[in-house]
Structure 1
Amino acid sequence: MFQKTKMHKVFKEAVDRPRYDEEGNCYFDGKLGIWPFVRQEPAKRRSDNKPRGTLISKTIKVARDTSRSYLISKVLDAIVKKWPREDWGKTIWVQQDNAPSHVLANDADFALAVAHTGLDIRIMNQPPNSPDMNVLDLGFFASLQTKAYLRNSKNIDELIKNVEKEYVEYDQNMVNRVFLTLQGCFLEVIKLGGGNGYKIPHMNKERLERLGMLPTRLSCDLQLYQSVMLSLSQ
């Protein structure tokens, strides 16, 4: 599961791989939530649309305390409410990039909050210098941002409303496509023995989706898997 702060550091977003049943019906779209980093304060001046004193949104600086607060009160809460029940017994990894404002993997407050959920939720950072290892940087957030910017946003409140609307309406099949690209990058990294000298793989996902042949996950060749396990054992 991936969480990210972008869009001029206004939003925190969390997304995971969609889940489908045997008939191909999506029962978990992977969209855990998107939350703006803002506070409400009264307007100091009146405008054509708002009288003086009207509550307006102001962006806030995202420090580690802020990240911790959002991670505990919003991301953890969303996981508890939305995570597929058949996966509750598995470890849930919250992957984040290496921004200084993000919570440390051994954060005591986060561990205490997780203990109250009854789930095994842990933090991990993505490998350094590896944007292809974060599904949000592989296209999800860029496309969401593009869709939101096509709507007219006169102020931060309208931007938040438009982004949230686009997030809710974002097609789960598009989320699946981006996760397939991520898995393809994983396989390329494995083939190179951990290197990053590869091109992002393409598999004509839109065409396969139209034909009803698009997979929900990629498989690893047995020989490749065995070679990796051999390397790790040495």
Structure 2
Amino acid sequence: MKEGVTKSVATDILPWRVVQRVWRYGQIGGGIEAFESKKKKNCGHKKLSFNPDAIKDVPLRQRRTLRDLANALHMSKTTLFRRLKEGRFRRHTNAIKFTLTEDNMKARVQFCIQMLDSQSIPDEPTFKSLYNIVYIDEKWFYRTKPDKNYYLSLDEPNPRRNVKSKNFIDKVMFLAAKARPRFDEYGECTFDGKIGIFPFTYWEAAKRSSRNRERGTMELKAMTSITRDIIRNYLIEKVLPAIKHKWPNEERGLPIFIQQDNAKTHIAVDDPAFLSVAQEDGWDIRLTCQPPNSPDLNVLDLGFFAALQSLFQKSSPSNIEEIETNVIKAYEEYPADRSNHVFLTLQGCMREIMLAKGGQHYAIPHMKKRSLERNGQLPIRLQCDKQIYLDAVDFINT
């Protein structure tokens, strides 16, 4: 050691003599090994034996909580929690699924096969780019949720949130229309794919006076019943004009498909009033339906609505008008690159549906899209294994 080093290392808490003594102790002991613990390695309380396979013998109804599972395994809840942290078993949130008939499963597989590029099927089946599809669907947005989590200081009072009835919280239904965004060769967004989100609301004059407003004041009301005629009017008066206004000029005249689900309030694909407006001025806009019981084949239900709901919940609307404003704001602020990721997730789900023979019990595939995007390797279309395609064709034919 150079002269003066021990004095420079020493502090008010660690005196100079202590530093010198520690240094000499290390020299005599042979280095850093001299400071290792002299306790025996396998000391302390031994771990209780735990067999993860024993969980399989416990009925599912007794695995809802750690306490129930610990009682079934005749062990401590704390010990079981430690095994969970060690990764010896896992926690799973189970979502209920639709009951699918054989016809439903074949229709789902057939739909996924139709989303493959016909020119790529013989050699390497590849999904279409999905640029000419506009996905539409409806969703309710509530003013608030019955339960919300907050982080508060120790001396801060609990927030007060009041509604007249927990069963009748103010809500507004919206019709959303979303297409896949476009990017140029430099990664700049040229078309965000946001056709629009349209609230089912109307203005009405107040029928009587109150302490909040005078009789005759115009108030924004939410539609409580959505009929087929209303859906038709929204498609003709709002969705179609928005598509014609925002669609890229270089793609005008090419076929555009509006995909909807099979709700009873939706119009038929050959509705005369819709077709007359959709085919005007050289446009070729058609209406299609996704397979029954298939929310995983619509980008809105697959991930876009959940992200939009998360953004909307960060606001605190107090009335119908603020709900409408905040939902539209969240829709406009949602990044185009993230919505583009949902379209790749849709292609991955279609591949899993073909592999599962039309079933819906599969894990949504993850492909590290953000990492691929940073490295400039994010694909536009996903490939499907040729054997998966052949097995799916055999499933439909048999």
Both proteins in one fold, TM over 0.5: yes
User: Whose RCO is larger (CA < 8 A, sep 6+)?
Assistant: 2
Q: Answer yes or no: is 1:163 the counterpart of 2:327.
A: yes
How does the TM-score come out when normalised to structure 2? Answer: 0.54
Cα-Cα RMSD:
2.3
Q: Choose which of 363, 369, 378 in structure 2 pairs with 1:214.
A: 378
Aligned to 1:199: 363
* Aligned partner of 1:36 among 199, 204, 210: 199
Mapped contact 1:135–1:178 kept (Cα < 8 A): yes
Gaps of 5+ in 1: none
1:188 is displaced (CA, Å) by 1.8
**Using a 3 Å threshold, how does the CA distance of structure 1 residues 226 and 89 change in structure 2: closer, same or farther?**
farther
The answer to whether 1:4 aligns with 2:137 is: yes
> Counterpart of 1:54?
217
Partners in 1 of 2:368 and 2:211 — Cα distance? Answer: 50
Shift of 1:144: 0.7
- Deviation of 1:232 after TM superposition, in Å, equals 7.6
1:137 to 291, 295, 301: 301
Q: Greater shift after overlay, 221-230 or 13-22?
A: 221-230
* Residue 200 to residue 25, structure 1, CA distance change in 2 (3 Å): same
> Are 1:189 and 2:322 matched, yes or no?
no
CA distance in 2, matches of 1:113, 1:142: 32
Deviations 1:90-111 (A, max 9, x none): 3211111111111111111001
Quote how far apart the aligned CAs of 1:218 are: 2.2
1:172-224 deviation digits (Å, cap 9, x = unpaired)? 01110111111111122233444434221111223333334333332344665
For the pair 1:66 / 2:230, whether they are aligned, the reply is yes
CA distance in 2, matches of 1:70, 1:117: 19
Q: Is the 8 A contact 1:7 1:145 kept in 2?
A: no
- Which residue number in structure 2 is paired with residue 88 of structure 1? 252
Distance 2:319 2:220 in 1: 9
Output aligned runs, 1:113-152, within 5 Å: 113-152=277-316
Contact 1:13-1:33 at 8 Å conserved across structures:
yes
Residues 99, 231 of structure 1: CA spacing in aligned structure 2 closer, same or farther, 3 A cutoff? closer
Tell me the distance in 1 between the aligned counterparts of 2:290 and 2:194. Answer: 20
Name the aligned partner's letter for residue 283 of structure 2. L
Q: 1:122: how far off?
A: 1.1
**1:231 Cα shift?**
7.9
Write out per-residue CA displacement over residues 44-76 of structure 1, whole angstroms, 9 at most, x where no aligned residue. 33444x444321111122100000000011110
- State whether residues 80 and 117 of structure 1, in contact with CA within 8 Å, keep that contact through their aligned partners in structure 2: no
Say which is worse superposed, 187-196 or 224-233, in terms of deviation. 224-233
TM-score by length of 1: 0.89
Query: 2:181 touches 2:189 (CA, 8 Å); kept in 1?
Result: yes
1:7 is paired with a residue whose SS is: strand
Cα gap change, 1:201 to 1:45, in 2 (>3 Å): farther
Please tell me whether Structure 1 or Structure 2 has the larger radius of gyration of its CA atoms. 2
Measured in 2, the distance between the counterparts of 1:223 and 1:21 equals: 34
**Worse overlay, 94-103 or 211-220:** 211-220
Q: Distance in 2 between matches of 1:121 and 1:130?
A: 23
Q: Paired residues, what number? A: 233
Q: How far apart, CA to CA, are the structure 1 residues paired with 2:365 and 2:327?
A: 29
SS at match of 1:58: strand
Structure 1 residue identity aligned to 2:259: Q
Structure with the higher fraction of residues in strand conformation: 1
CA contact (8 A) 1:19 1:28 kept: yes
Aligned to 1:10, the other structure's residue is in SS state strand
Unmatched 5+ stretches in structure 2: 1-133, 142-171
Equivalent position amino acid for 1:89 in 2: G
- More divergent stretch after superposition (66-75 vs 37-46): 37-46
CA distance in 1, matches of 2:394, 2:250: 32
Q: Greater CA deviation, 37-46 or 98-107?
A: 37-46
